[in-house]
Amino acid sequence: MAKRKFIKSLKIKKDDKVMVIAGKDKGKIGTVLSVDKEKQRVVVEKVNIVKRHLRPSVNAPQGGIVEKEAPIHISNVMLICNKCAQPTRIGKKVLEDGRKVRVCKKCKEPIDE
């Protein structure tokens, strides 16, 4: 019998500004290009660049070596708050109008507006 993965809601979303806190690109800042919930991985702009060798084809008649971003684990990135401009942990809060928003743990300001 196959194991089922429990996927909890992730605190980082597409177009968030994040800082890498572990690995070869530690300290780099970029925006999240995509999020894979099942594998808990994110692709961050200009972070974890790898080289891929392409065989000549219709799309790439020349072939060659292409550099692209590879996914990194979501635990290795930290969201940067818009207000205090620092990497921070995330909390959740329900506003008066019933919306659930992410909040910065340092300055207590909502991140999603």
pLDDT digits (tens, 9 = 90+) for 7-35: 677 899 999 999 999 999 999 999 999 99
- Give one DSSP letter per residue of 24-53, joined into a string: TTTT-EEEEEEEETTTTEEEETTSSEEEEE
Is 0.95 surpassed by the pTM of this model? no
Q: Are residues 24 and 62 in the same domain?
A: yes
Contacts of 66 (CB under 8 A, 6+ apart): 51, 52, 53, 54, 60
Tell whether 10 is covered by a domain: no
pLDDT digits (tens, 9 = 90+) for 55-95: 999 988 999 999 999 999 999 999 999 999 999 999 999 99
Q: Are residues 72 and 34 in the same domain?
A: yes
Count of structural domains, the chain = 2
Of 21, 17, 42, nearest to 102 by C-alpha is 17
Q: Are residues 48 and 62 in the same domain?
A: yes
Tell whether 62 is covered by a domain: yes
Q: Are residues 74 and 105 in the same domain?
A: no
Amino acid at 89: R
Tell whether 37 is covered by a domain: yes
Domain coverage including residue 38: 17-80
* Phi, psi dihedral angles at 75 (to 5 degrees): -75, -10
- CATH number of 21's domain: 2.30.30.30
Q: Are residues 64 and 90 in the same domain?
A: no
Measured between alpha carbons, how far is 94 from 7 in angstroms, rounded to an integer? Answer: 22
Q: Are residues 62 and 98 in the same domain?
A: no
Q: Can you give the C-alpha Rg of the chain in angstroms?
A: 18
Q: Are residues 32 and 74 in the same domain?
A: yes
Q: What tokens appear for 106 in the block?
A: 């340092």
* Phi, psi dihedral angles at 76 (to 5 degrees): -95, 5
